[in-house]
């Protein structure tokens, strides 16, 4: 069998067999439309309720505050556009950061075309926002603060509880994109004063195309998807029952295994970082230690292009990413790496390895064995490296 090492868990994960097993009957015998009144539909309604309870338990909220969506991007769009349009009489100002996922950034850019004003907070060299910057950005017109829990590219975990406290004190709603955080970090929407929170199943060993938005009771929000009265008339469309079942199971599993999962990944992460940093002219992007997602490794190798590294790794059966999946088709360097202060040239040489439950010690050793040779070979063909070496010799 051809060798394959998957180190792109931040892009998506496989679906765990236990998750798939719970989903399967909802494609076949339990196919009833949850909105119908005959008893066939009782099964599907019950399954959705169980999932809602599982998600609510994971976030420490009430089941009535959980709304299923078609994934993380939809949850982000709903939170931002839904709050913007329902609070227009109060103000038109939104605060976010320069390092959000495109689902948040592009939703904000869209709102800017419709009369809203958006402040994009800067971050420091490790990707953290400054709480004083947040405080001074809030005005009488601010209706929403949207700051991601953990960054998908460089793994930075923001001080969410402190951010929530500031928003509460100033009477501003707080949304957080927790797609990468769930299953890796403890989340408690009450303790952290979170008003809205996005999550997605396919980053935590569940199926693609299903997610959820937590909306604190009492928060006024417009619909994003209009139509039927599903999800208590807040999100139209016949429910993705199997997907919702998968999300619930994936959330439950993620929470029961969190400590073991993190301990295991942290040891692999540290070994990978240590090995990669031995390659000359390499820099680690994102913070060290506890404030970094357990499965995230992101480095820049100077003088070469991330694309070249990815193609060479692919030849050896290794799946990785440069920047994020959404940008790896384009030649623009990652907005996150630019926001932490890297030059275009250095940002172009980035590699993100994201590890997960399927990662083994053998995978880690294999990557560490092949990468130094790949970097050396790519540099030997790089005009930038050539210039650098020549300058050094003068």
The residues annotated as belonging to the active site are 326
Whole-number Å distance between alpha carbons of 180 and 198: 10
Angle CA(376)–CA(373)–CA(263) in degrees, nearest 5?
115
How long a stretch of residues is the chain?
394
Minimum Å gap between C-beta 101 and ligand PLP is 3
Minimum Å gap between C-beta 84 and ligand PLP is 18
Whole-number Å distance between alpha carbons of 10 and 184: 12
Which of these segments, 15-23, 40-48, 106-114, 173-181, binds ligand PLP (CB under 6 A)? 173-181
DSSP string, 275-334: HHTTSSSEEE-S--GGGB-TTEEEEEETTS-HHHHHHHHHHTTEE-BSS-TTTTTSSSPP
Contact 190, 200 (CB under 8 A): no
Contact 137, 161 (CB under 8 A): no
Write the burial class of residue 220 (CB in 10 Å: 0-12 exposed, 13-18 middle, 19+ buried).
exposed
Handedness of CA 123, 127, 128, 134 (dihedral sign): positive
180 forms part of the interface with ligand PLP (CB under 6 A): yes
Whole-number Å distance between alpha carbons of 223 and 233: 9
Minimum Å gap between C-beta 388 and ligand PLP is 34
Minimum Å gap between C-beta 102 and ligand PLP is 8
Count the neighbouring beta carbons within 10 Å of the beta carbon of residue 116.
22
Q: How far is CA 53 from the centre of its chain?
A: 22
Minimum Å gap between C-beta 6 and ligand PLP is 16
Of the pair 76, 305, the CB lying nearest ligand PLP is at 76
293 forms part of the interface with ligand PLP (CB under 6 A): no
Fill in the per-residue mask, 134 to 153: x = in contact with ligand PLP (CB under 6 A), - = not in contact: --------------x---x-
Minimum Å gap between C-beta 239 and ligand PLP is 16
Of the pair 180, 322, the CB lying nearest ligand PLP is at 180
Whole-number Å distance between alpha carbons of 76 and 268: 31
| Sole binder of ligand PLP in the list 23, 172, 179, 215 (CB under 6 A) | 179
Binders in 204-233 for ligand PLP, by CB under 6 A: 211
| Sole binder of ligand PLP in the list 177, 195, 305, 363 (CB under 6 A) | 177
Q: How far is CA 229 from the centre of its chain?
A: 29
Which of these segments, 59-67, 111-119, 198-206, 348-356, binds ligand PLP (CB under 6 A)? 198-206
Q: Which residues contact 94 (CB under 8 A, 6 or more apart)?
A: 80, 84, 108, 111, 116, 117, 118, 119, 142, 143, 144, 145, 146
200 forms part of the interface with ligand PLP (CB under 6 A): yes
Number of residues that bind ligand PLP (CB under 6 A): 15
Of the pair 93, 101, the CB lying nearest ligand PLP is at 101
Of the pair 72, 356, the CB lying nearest ligand PLP is at 72
Minimum Å gap between C-beta 201 and ligand PLP is 8
Whole-number Å distance between alpha carbons of 210 and 214: 14
Binders in 71-110 for ligand PLP, by CB under 6 A: 71-73, 76, 101, 103
Binders in 52-71 for ligand PLP, by CB under 6 A: 71
Which of these segments, 57-65, 199-207, 274-282, 336-344, binds ligand PLP (CB under 6 A)? 199-207
Task: List contacts with ligand PLP (CB under 6 A).
Answer: 71-73, 76, 101, 103, 148, 152, 177, 179-180, 200, 202-203, 211
């Amino acid at each position: 069998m051809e060798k394959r090492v998957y180190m792109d868990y931040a892009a998506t994960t496989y679906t765990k067999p236990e998750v798939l097993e719970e989903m399967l009957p909802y494609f076949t015998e339990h196919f009833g439309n949850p909105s119908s009144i005959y008893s066939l539909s009782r099964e599907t309604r019950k399954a959705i309720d169980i999932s809602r309870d599982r998600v609510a338990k994971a976030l420490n909220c009430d089941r009535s505050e959980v709304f299923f969506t078609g994934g993380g991007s939809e949850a982000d769009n709903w939170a931002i556009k839904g709050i913007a349009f329902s609070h227009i009489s109060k103000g038109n100002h939104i605060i976010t950061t320069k390092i959000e996922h495109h689902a948040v950034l592009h939703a904000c850019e869209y709102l800017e075309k419709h009369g809203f004003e958006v402040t994009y907070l800067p971050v420091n060299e490790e990707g953290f926002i400054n709480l004083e910057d947040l405080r001074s950005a809030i005005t009488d017109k601010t209706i929403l603060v949207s700051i991601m829990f953990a960054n998908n590219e460089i793994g930075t975990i923001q001080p969410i509880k402190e951010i929530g406290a500031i928003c509460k004190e100033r009477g501003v709603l707080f949304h957080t994109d927790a797609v990468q955080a769930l299953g890796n970090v403890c989340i408690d929407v009450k303790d952290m004063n979170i008003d809205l929170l996005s999550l997605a199943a396919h980053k935590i060993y569940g199926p693609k195309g299903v997610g959820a938005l937590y909306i604190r009771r009492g928060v006024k929000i417009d619909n994003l998807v209009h139509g039927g009265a599903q999800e208590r008339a807040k999100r139209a469309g016949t429910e993705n029952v199997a997907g919702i079942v998968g999300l619930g199971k994936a959330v439950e599993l993620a929470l029961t295994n969190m400590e073991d999962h993190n301990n295991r990944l942290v040891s692999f992460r540290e070994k990978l970082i240590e090995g990669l940093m031995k390659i000359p002219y390499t820099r680690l992007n994102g913070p060290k230690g506890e404030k970094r997602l357990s499965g995230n490794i992101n480095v820049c190798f100077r003088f070469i292009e991330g694309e070249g590294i990815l193609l060479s790794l692919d030849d050896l059966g290794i799946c990785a990413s440069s920047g994020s999946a959404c940008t790896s088709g384009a030649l623009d360097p990652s907005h996150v790496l630019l926001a932490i202060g890297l030059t275009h040239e250095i940002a172009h040489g980035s590699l993100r390895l994201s590890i997960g439950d399927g990662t083994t010690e053998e995978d880690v050793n294999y990557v560490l064995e092949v990468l130094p040779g790949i970097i050396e070979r790519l540099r030997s063909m790089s005009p930038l490296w050539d210039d650098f070496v020549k300058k050094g010799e003068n």
